[in-house]
């Protein structure tokens, strides 16, 4: 039943964005939203938490569930990240399974089937990404691959070949999502674009900049927690925020890397993150960053819970002390 304040022609659809790390899930979310909401880096496994991202076309609301990349996981942190991805397909109308055209296509589909376990998938569409990186992508035998993919995942119904960098064919995917939407109330009103708070995205933007600036091995032993987040109106009535955040690392030597010579690295991380947070909040942001050594934080239940990563079905026994 439609709410009284909603248009009678309203439609809605929920779509999970799933696939391996670095196939372009967050890039697709940002392209469809028309803004950089989901963090994107050159490193795999950047996304750790599932969240909703919402855009509207005319009277059609599309709720995208951005999920972490499914991968082989033996560490506790990775098991919980995978759990976020697996749970992302629950209750959605359609799964968009993203496949990187520059890699083994059928292998990616088989890996996804393995990592998702015995979970029954609802309607699934293949979305072949990064077509701009493949010479003459139109000539690829994707019809044949599509038929082979249906043998692996029977719920696969159709496929698209896109590039978010060049913008190729994304409009076809958008149109199909809108056509698939069913009459009903919108889930998000008054311009809301996510089920996550600005506090959540502040941690994400800090981590994004650290991922981009730090050495390859360090980001995977690093997390960000908000110690204090206060937003208020300044004297002119404009939005402002005071944010204090901690970057957690595993070893003292890593702390020195994050801080940098004379504090240059953490200053650069803070400056870049502050710009993104200010753009999100459309206000002035005062950001104070600290680096804390938290040995094996990625095995600590309290820290992982604080990061929004509950225990997975295959979780190991974890620390009970901070």
Q: What is the pLDDT of residues 191-243, one digit of tens each?
A: 899 999 999 999 999 999 999 999 777 888 999 999 999 998 888 888 899 99
Select from 151, 184, 211 the least CA-distant residue to 14: 184
Cα separation, 284 vs 5, in Å, equals 33
pLDDT bin (cut points 50, 70, 90) of residue 43 is: confident
Q: Average pLDDT, stretch 152-163? A: 97
Residue ranges of the chain that CATH labels 3.40.50.300: 11-183
- Tell me the whole-structure pTM to 2 decimals: 0.93
Half-sphere exposure of 193 (CA within 13 A, CB side): 15
Looking at per-residue pLDDT, the higher value among 5 and 257 belongs to 257
Q: Within its chain, how far is the Cα of 105 from the centroid?
A: 22
Residue 263's CB is within 10 A of a number of other CB atoms, namely 11
Residue ranges of the chain that CATH labels 3.30.300.20: 198-306
Cα separation, 16 vs 313, in Å, equals 20
pLDDT at residue 2, as a whole number: 45
Contact indicator for 66, 76 with CB cutoff of 8 Å: no
Q: What is the pLDDT of residues 290-303, one digit of tens each?
A: 999 999 999 999 99
Task: Reduce the DSSP state of residue 98 to 3 states and report it.
Answer: strand
Cα separation, 318 vs 45, in Å, equals 22
pLDDT bin (cut points 50, 70, 90) of residue 186 is: very high
Cα separation, 163 vs 232, in Å, equals 40
The architecture in CATH of the region 198-306 reads 2-Layer Sandwich (3.30)
Q: What is the pLDDT of residues 114-134, one digit of tens each?
A: 999 888 899 999 999 999 999
Q: What is the CATH number of domain 11-183?
A: 3.40.50.300
């Amino acid at each position: 039943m439609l709410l009284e304040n909603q248009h009678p022609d309203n439609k809605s659809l929920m779509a999970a964005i799933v696939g391996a790390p670095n196939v372009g899930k967050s890039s697709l979310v940002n392209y469809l939203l028309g803004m950089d909401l989901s963090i994107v880096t050159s490193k795999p496994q950047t996304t750790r938490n599932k969240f909703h991202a919402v855009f509207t076309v005319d009277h059609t609301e599309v709720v995208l569930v951005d999920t972490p990349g499914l991968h082989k996981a033996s560490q506790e942190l990775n098991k919980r990240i995978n759990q976020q991805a697996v749970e992302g397909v629950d209750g959605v109308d359609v799964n968009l399974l993203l496949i990187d055209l520059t890699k083994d296509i059928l292998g990616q589909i088989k890996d996804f089937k393995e990592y998702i376990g015995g979970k029954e998938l609802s309607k699934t569409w293949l979305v072949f990404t990064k077509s701009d990186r493949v010479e003459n992508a139109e000539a690829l035998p994707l019809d044949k691959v599509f038929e082979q993919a249906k043998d692996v995942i029977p719920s696969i119904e159709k496929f698209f070949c896109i590039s978010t960098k060049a913008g190729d064919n994304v409009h076809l995917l958008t149109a199909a999502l809108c056509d698939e939407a069913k009459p009903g109330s919108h889930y998000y009103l008054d311009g809301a674009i996510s089920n996550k708070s600005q506090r959540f995205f502040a941690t994400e933007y800090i981590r994004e900049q650290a991922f981009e600036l730090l050495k390859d091995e360090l980001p995977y032993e690093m997390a960000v927690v908000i110690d204090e987040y206060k937003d208020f109106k300044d004297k002119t009535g404009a939005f402002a925020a005071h944010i204090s955040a901690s970057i957690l690392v595993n070893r003292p030597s890593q702390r020195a890397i994050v801080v940098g010579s004379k504090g240059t690295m953490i200053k650069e991380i803070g400056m870049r993150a502050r710009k993104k947070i200010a753009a999100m909040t459309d206000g002035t942001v005062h950001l104070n960053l600290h680096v804390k050594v938290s040995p094996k934080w990625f095995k600590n239940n309290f820290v992982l819970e604080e990061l929004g990563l509950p225990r997975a079905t295959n979780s190991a026994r974890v620390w009970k002390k901070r």
